[in-house]
Structure 1
């Protein structure tokens, strides 16, 4: 209840005069987010993923961002986003063993501020969706801070791991739940999701988008029809 009230009364701050133009445009758009009464089939979702130098949101950085839009119970594969982000990767960093992004590749990417501009222009006021989405939004908020922007992502968001748990509680005992059952790999197996490009930002975003469609179909069976009923 407290988290819900906090979100209800949290409003985007006004842009500072010296903030970049893309941030001012973003703040204007975010004041027109989907209403609670918006039917789910009308809402626009941006499903996204980041690949990073590690799992510490305070010290690690984003190497790539991948995203795709979902609307009307369809993944809009023609409306997708992908970028590499320039970073200094410390020698001995083990993250390339997971995502395969080499230090030489990220040097060809966008600066953090350029990547933020591109992503926020793509996402606008859409509902952000991710698997363990707080990690990804925290990583992007770190990029905002380093770019000198006093703000954060204000989009409404959905965590597909939490949504899967919530929807499946209708048919399972709480005692039967295990966190490992709700990893993206476990849910991919359960819902027969594509995993060909696993551990790449665009690939994981696409897999999560298909998962979102599966969960929205389950939500419909539970009588969930609007944004306000789905997004908590």
Structure 2
């Protein structure tokens, strides 16, 4: 009941009714897996530099339906940041204006649930832009693959440590590493994690978050 109230309240704040489709009932068994490369780890002050996303339908990653853009930042990128995401200023020269990038992303996502690794961060920084451009935070449900992985690991006690590092999850699930800090590659690898875990995550638990 509360979720319905919040959804309707959020919907009323939508500035551009063109994007009302974000609140439509999603198609069953379709998902969007996405990843953002950013100038830092603070959603309030840092910016998106690239976005990669893929469409999942059933148990397939639709490689013909991918989304990958560079986004022009409003300020100079710190050297420390470049060392991490390896995106150079020259890579961003022909990047999209943030508003165009976000609008294209919303069209790609639709109302589908969004899959990701520590997806709350990606949604938080995307929502900073959507709130500015269309008046609302990204309303889609999210699915956290690290949570799914955690719930499928056998433990001898509730206090046993579970390594949730991305590389560890890939290795334990026998998923090939495609190369780090590339938003599209990260989205593809995360999609493979999701598909490996989708049917083995305990039914009594949920991997959806708001």
TM score, norm. by length of structure 1: 0.80
2:208 corresponds to 1:231: yes
Distance 1:133 1:92 in 2: 24
Please report the RMSD computed on the Cα atoms of aligned residues, expressed in angstroms.
2.2
Distance 1:7 1:212 in 2: 25
Distance 1:28-1:223 versus aligned 2 partners, 3 A rule = closer
Following superposition of structure 1 onto structure 2, how do residues 207-218 of structure 1 map, counting pairs within 5 Å?
207-218=189-200
Say if 2:30 and 2:55, in contact at 8 Å, map to a contact too.
yes
Say if 1:89 and 1:103, in contact at 8 Å, map to a contact too.
no
2:52 corresponds to 1:66: yes
Structure 1 runs of 4+ aligned residues shifted over 6 Å read none
Following superposition of structure 1 onto structure 2, how do residues 49-198 of structure 1 map, counting pairs within 5 Å?
49-90=35-76, 92-147=78-133, 149-168=134-153, 171-172=154-155, 173-178=157-162, 181-198=163-180
- State the 1:30 CA deviation: 1.8
Distance 1:58-1:29 versus aligned 2 partners, 3 A rule = closer
**What is the match of residue 37 of structure 1?**
none
2:8 corresponds to 1:31: no
Distance 1:135-1:6 versus aligned 2 partners, 3 A rule = farther
TM score, norm. by length of structure 2: 0.88
Say if 2:147 and 2:207, in contact at 8 Å, map to a contact too.
no
- State the 1:156 CA deviation: 0.9
Distance 1:117-1:53 versus aligned 2 partners, 3 A rule = same
Distance 2:105 2:78 in 1: 29
Distance 1:55-1:32 versus aligned 2 partners, 3 A rule = same
Distance 2:176 2:75 in 1: 30
**What is the match of residue 13 of structure 1?**
11
**Structure 1 unmatched ranges of 5 or more:** 35-41
- State the 1:26 CA deviation: 2.5
Residues 136-156 of structure 1 deviation map (CA, whole Å, 9 limit, x = unaligned): 000101122343x32011111
**Structure 2 unmatched ranges of 5 or more:** none
